[in-house]
Homo-oligomer: A and B are copies of this chain.
């Protein structure tokens, strides 16, 4: 699991893309020149594995919600469970373990009875907060459009009974 570190995506050496340039640098910037066969970018998509590793961590059902909540400050296990509607005991544990393993969350257990455990974002975890919140903001802003589009699509594509 040792890809190239931070190759590409870093800025510098932009290349004209086939379409408009809406969000600044593309996914593929900084890659070696293309074989000039008209392909736009990223033949074999070297960052794909890196991206998928991260997305796999972030993209599960609960991770982003946990990170988002911890962004407001440290919290205990039960506190998190109470706030995240519908999460099961097992999934919260599992999510927190994975985040801890990846160095995004720090777990602090106080040797008391009954036990008390606090979870908090690490600096690395906090650095994730920014792109996460950007996505959350996008979600909040555009959710109505998604719903509308969905309804329209479903109306136009009735499933054959």
Listed in ascending order, the chain A residues whose CB lies under 8 Å from chain B are: 1-3, 5-10, 17-20, 22-28, 39-45, 47-48, 50-61, 64-65, 68-69, 71-75, 79, 83-85, 100-104, 120, 124, 126-150, 152-154
The interface residues of chain B lying within 8 Å CB-to-CB of A136 are: 9, 27, 47, 51
In-complex Cβ contact of A138 among B40, B54, B64, B137 (8 A): B54
In-complex Cβ contact of A153 among B9, B101, B128, B153 (8 A): B101
Bound state CA distance, A114 and B56, in angstroms? 36
A6-B141, A23-B126, A131-B134 are known; give 12 further A-B pairs, CB within 8 A: A22-B129, A28-B72, A40-B75, A47-B139, A48-B84, A51-B64, A54-B143, A100-B153, A101-B149, A102-B150, A102-B153, A127-B138
Bound state CA distance, A42 and B131, in angstroms? 20
In-complex Cβ contact of A140 among B10, B65, B134, B137 (8 A): B10
